Chains A and B, each alone.
Chain A
Amino acid sequence: MSQSAPIIPGPDPADLIACPRCDALYRVSEPARGERAVCARCHTVLIAPRRGAGLQLIAVALTVVILVISATIFPFLTIRVGNAWHSSSILGAALSFHGGPFVFLALAVAALIVFVPVLRALLMLYVLIPLVWDRPPATGARRAFRLSEDLRPWSMAEVFAIGCAVALVKVADLADVDFGPAFWMFAVLVVLVVAQDTFMCRYSVWKSLER
């Protein structure tokens, strides 16, 4: 198919973009800041630049790193029934899977809720800091951003947060639950992780990395 198709003479592919979802071809006309370019056919957002997004993303990524590290250190939840009590940390939740094949599940859960979110934040810092301060992109910045994008679906901090809510509903009838500092850190973290993905205009980042 691709061999027999005629190549349109004239237009330089450099100023064309295609919708990643439906392949519709567009000539780039960059929207004003705060506006969005949307695919006319499947409504996928193609370009959505925002003023100061780079700096915001750096701030968010830094906070994510600090919060995840502290949230894993401080106590997360404590359960109490009469005199008996038990505390759990976030890593403790992952490590509750142990023995035999459960080890893989423990590693996977720890990766999904702690390591991947932190790694993505670190990669974003590596990519964005030179760009925002008008320096040439860091070595391997493209690879770093690509990895960060690959990991996006596997960063599940916010899913874990909703899991906490469900678990609390189940436990609430049986016992009293105390929230540790890590719980509140994690709550903030979830908002930030969601913000990280909404602020970012991937088109703008890739374009800046081209320099």
Chain B
Amino acid sequence: MEITGTVTTARAAGLIACRRCTTVWPAGTATCGRCGHAIASRDQLSLQKVWAWWIVGVVCYVPANVLPMLQTRTLGMVENNTIIGGAAQLADHGNWGVAIVILVASVMIPIGKFAVIAALAISVRHGSGMSQLRRQHLFELVEYIGRWSMIDVFVVALLSSLVQLGALAAVAPGPASLYFAMSVVFTMLSAQSFDSRMIWDPDTIVSRADRLRRLPGQPG
């Protein structure tokens, strides 16, 4: 069932909505009376928080790729592998499938998340050619995928605890695992800080409104 009715926002009605339990309160309310969540018509600091976490996330992502993720000792030989190095080695051994999975999960998805969050944050201020619904879906996708990037860290943990066969073979976590985990957490916090209601607020987009004023014949 779809709730019918014309779309008015809580803000346009002079009300403040609780993003956690969906109740609405008169303007000026600071705390939701039902669930106790702090409420605001729009989180004024949202974009600042998004960018702050985003920057720390990107900064952590650099050592996560430069430093070794996994240290493998086999019969006296020690080998330090970075994420990309490990994937390249797998590809060298003809294991293309796993190599591609690793590259997609550890390189393409994190970079994609950074790109999408940045694009969404920029679009709030400067408008976007993409429809609001599509941007909303992108945001939900990033929010959903965020936690799954932890897979790499869990794989390192599992391999390091499982492959402990004395002199035969032993795996230990490398410093990159720590940075990778931090990067994932900060990216999740960045996405969580984004107030998706801003996607739907037409009036925050300054440059776009100007553009429309200059071209009055253009459909909005």
Contacts and interface: CB of A to CB of B under 8 A. Distances in A.
A187 interface: no
A199 B138 CA distance: 24
Contacts of A203: 21-22
Interface residues of A, number: 80
Contacts of B17: 17-20, 23, 25
Interface string A19-48: 111111111010110011111111100100
A153 B169 contact: no
Nearest to B201: A23
A139 interface: no
11 contacts: A5-B13, A7-B14, A25-B10, A38-B3, A42-B132, A79-B162, A85-B165, A93-B154, A96-B158, A153-B192, A156-B154
B177 A97 contact: yes
A24 to B, nearest CB: 5
B1 A26 contact: no
Contact of A37 (B2, B172, B192): B2
Size category, B interface = 35 or more
Interface stretch (A53-61, A66-74, A157-165): A157-165
A97 B150 contact: no
Interface string A84-128: 111010001111110001101100110011000000000000000
B207 interface: no
A72 to B, nearest CB: 13
A3 B154 CA distance: 49
B21 A202 contact: yes
Given A92-B161, A166-B155, 8 more contacts: A20-B18, A23-B11, A25-B17, A41-B7, A77-B158, A79-B163, A108-B181, A166-B151
A43 B1 CA distance: 11
Interface of A: 1-3, 5-8, 13-14, 16-27, 29, 31-32, 35-43, 46, 77, 79, 81, 84-86, 88, 92-97, 101-102, 104-105, 108-109, 112-113, 142-143, 145-146, 149, 153-154, 156, 159-160, 162-164, 166-167, 169-171, 174-175, 202-203, 206, 209-210
Contacts of A96: 157-158, 160-161, 172-173
A72 B197 CA distance: 41
B21 A29 contact: no
A210 B160 contact: no
B159 A167 contact: yes
B34 to A, nearest CB: 6
Contacts of A162: 148, 151
B60 to A, nearest CB: 12
A86 B157 contact: no
Interface of B: 1-5, 7-28, 34-37, 41, 98, 101, 132-133, 136, 140, 143, 146-148, 150-155, 157-166, 168-169, 172-173, 177-178, 181, 185, 188, 192, 196-197, 199-201
Which of A17, A108, A113, A167 lies at the interface centre, i.e. has the most chain B CB atoms within 10 A of its CB?
A167
Nearest to B166: A84
Contact of B15 (A13, A31, A159, A166): A13
A42 B200 contact: yes
A105 B5 contact: no
Which of A18, A102, A174 lies at the interface centre, i.e. has the most chain B CB atoms within 10 A of its CB?
A18
Nearest to B171: A96
A145 B154 CA distance: 28
B8 A109 contact: no
Contact of B196 (A21, A37, A40): A21
